[in-house]
Amino acid sequence: MDHTKQNAEVPFRLLILAMAFVTCLIAANLAASKIFSLGELSMTSGIIIYPLTFLVLDSMAEIWGKQVAQKVVWIGLAANILFTLLLQAAIHLPPAPFWSGQQAYATVLGAVPRVVLASLCGYTVSQTLDITIFIRLKQRTNGRKLWLRSLMSTAVSQLADSTVFMFIGFSGILPLAAIFSTIGTEYILKFSYAVIGVPLIYLAVRWARGNRRPAAIAPDGH
């Protein structure tokens, strides 16, 4: 048996979901430079995209297990770092004398290093936590109640994401009350998004599974 060929074979639907995960992740970071308002609440536009990453990640964990999902998280982290470095390189290229958009370009695409660090830390902690909780609940429910596993893992991980991001990014800059208020507002919106997205994860899992039968659940969740 050609083990090299066997190990190189990656399910096409896994590649599609991984692509969707990384795309949503990078798009959320780009969109975050715009602030929008709903009534008296103001939030970054990335909040309408980022929760989709948890839905996609849970779909991959459901079909291919914890190890595969965790590898996709690390790939997303590496892609995010590379994307940020490439953007910084583009920003620091000398602008043409006739081009007047340098300041606006740098303002929109040049994130403050501390905020970038906060985003990467929040991402790593929350996505890893999401996978861990999702797989453990899968073991306890014997693979049933996908909706409950998705909601509970997302509820905890989204709170972790907002908390890590806000405290690393804005401690000493914003008042503590403002940090907690922002965490609460974003969390409510993110969790509402997760509830609305429950039917989507069933569709994603059904599509990703195709004609495959549900795999047996290993004790370690792999």
Higher per-residue confidence, 79 vs 32: 79
Three-state DSSP string of the chain = CCHHHHHHCCCHHHHHHHHHHHHHHHHHHHHCCCEEEECCEEEEHHHHCCHHHHHHHHHHHHHHHHHHHHHHHHHHHHHHHHHHHHHHHHHCCCCCCCCCCHHHHHHHHCCCHHHHHHHHHHHHHHHHHHHHHHHHHHHHCCCCCHHHHHHHHHHHHHHHHHHHHHHHHHECCECHHHHHHHHHHHHHHHHHHHHHCHHHHHHHHHHHHCCCCCCCCCCCCC
Task: Read off the pLDDT of residues 149-196 as tens digits, 9 standing for 90 and up.
Answer: 999 999 999 999 989 988 988 888 888 888 888 888 888 888 888 888
The mean pLDDT value of the chain amounts to: 85
- Confidence at residue 112, expressed as pLDDT on a 0 to 100 scale: 66
Domain 10-209 maps to which CATH number in 3.20.19, 1.10.600, 2.70.98, 1.10.1760? 1.10.1760
Short-list 154, 215, 153, 210, CA closest to 14 = 210
Burial call 104-141: b when 16+ CB within 10 Å, e when fewer: eeeeeebbeeeebebbbbbbbbbbbbbbbbbbebbeee
- pTM here? 0.84
- Confidence at residue 9, expressed as pLDDT on a 0 to 100 scale: 76
**What does the block give as tokens for 162?**
């907002």
- Confidence at residue 212, expressed as pLDDT on a 0 to 100 scale: 63
Q: What is the mean pLDDT of residues 60-64?
A: 93
Q: What is the mean pLDDT of residues 132-161?
A: 92
Q: Residue 59 above 90 pLDDT?
A: yes
Distance of CA 120 to the CA centre of its chain: 10
- Residue 191's CB is within 10 A of a number of other CB atoms, namely 16
Higher per-residue confidence, 39 vs 207: 207
- Confidence at residue 211, expressed as pLDDT on a 0 to 100 scale: 63
Percent of the chain predicted with pLDDT > 70: 90
Q: How far apart are the first and last CA of the chain?
A: 24
